[in-house]
Structure 1
Amino acid sequence: MTKLKYQMVIQWSVEDNCFLVGFPDFPGQRFRTHGDTYQSAVANGIEALESLIIAYNAAGDPLPEPTVCTAA
C-alpha cells in the first residue's frame, strides 16, 4: 500500500454505540466504516481507505488531493 496522507476522522457515536470512521478528502458518505473499539476503528479505517483507493484506480478516477496541515 502506498503511504498516502489522507485524513481519517474517528468519532464516538452514542446513537450507534461505536466509533465511526470517515475520510473528509473523499466525497460521498460522511462515514465509511466503524469499530467497537478505537483500535478496531483504526484497523477498519485503514482497510476502508485501501478499498477506496482500489475502487478509484479501477474506475480510472484520479484520487483526491490529501488535505495537509502544516504546523506553525
Structure 2
Amino acid sequence: MLKAVTLKEIERIFAVIEPMGISREAVVIPLRTGHPGRVSILKDGKLEIVVERDGDFEDWITQLEARIRELTKPETD
C-alpha cells in the first residue's frame, strides 16, 4: 500500500509523460494516493494523475501511458 507519492514516483510519472510530449506544468499529481488510482482532465485543462493506493505501483505505472492516451484521444464521428 502506497500512502503518499514521493519524488521517486513523481519522477517515474514524468518519465512516462515527457516522451508523450506532455509538459510537467500540464500535470497535477496529488501527494495523496487514492483507490482507485485515476487519470482525469481538470476544468483548467490540466491532466490529474492520482496514484493507486492499494495496488502495486509497478503494475500501475505500466498502464499509465495507455490510460492517458485513451483519455486524450480525439473523438471520431
Q: Same fold (TM over 0.5)?
A: no
Q: Report the TM-score when normalising by structure 1.
A: 0.39
Q: Report the TM-score when normalising by structure 2.
A: 0.38
Higher-helix-fraction structure = 2
Greater radius of gyration (CA): 1
Q: Comparing both chains, which one has the higher relative contact order based on Cα–Cα distances under 8 Å and sequence gaps of 6 or more?
A: 2
Higher-strand-fraction structure = 1
